[in-house]
Amino acid sequence: MSGESREPGWYPDQNDPEYNRYWNGRAWTARRHPVGSPPPAIADPTSPGPQAATDRPEPSRPMQRIPVWMWVIGALFLMRSVFSVMAAFDDPEPGVTTAVPSHPAAVAPSPGTLH
């Protein structure tokens, strides 16, 4: 965007179509105004003053987008952590296993019960 050669002025903001952004003749500035509203007055960039300080070029920042594969790995790690915590609370006595008979006849009758 900064390699353009055009007259200083208000142009449609390429990042947000609902706004216009000011081109100072060298670079895009941080000054914007909504489309359809009158643009604010811009001071002469050659004259010093508080207005000229706001016409500095907008700092370029790289787009910080997290790839999908990182979201998937994060979700899997979170699910594994949750299931590990749930499993830890599910075992009332760690290290002690209880055998569950597979058939009711395998259970020995307690003394005093009738068959």
Sheet with strand 9-12: strands edge to edge: 9-12, 19-23, 28-34
Report yes or no on 88 lying in a domain.
Answer: no
Report yes or no on 106 lying in a domain.
Answer: no
Encode the chain (115 residues) as per-residue pLDDT tens digits: 545 578 888 899 988 889 999 988 888 888 888 998 888 877 655 444 444 445 566 666 666 788 889 999 999 999 999 998 888 777 666 666 666 666 666 556 666 666 5
**Could you tell me the residue range of the domain that residue 13 belongs to?**
9-54
Report yes or no on 29 lying in a domain.
Answer: yes
**Residue 60 near residue 51, CB atoms below 8 Å:** no
| pTM reported for the whole predicted model | 0.36
Report yes or no on 43 lying in a domain.
Answer: yes
**Number of folded domains in the chain?**
1
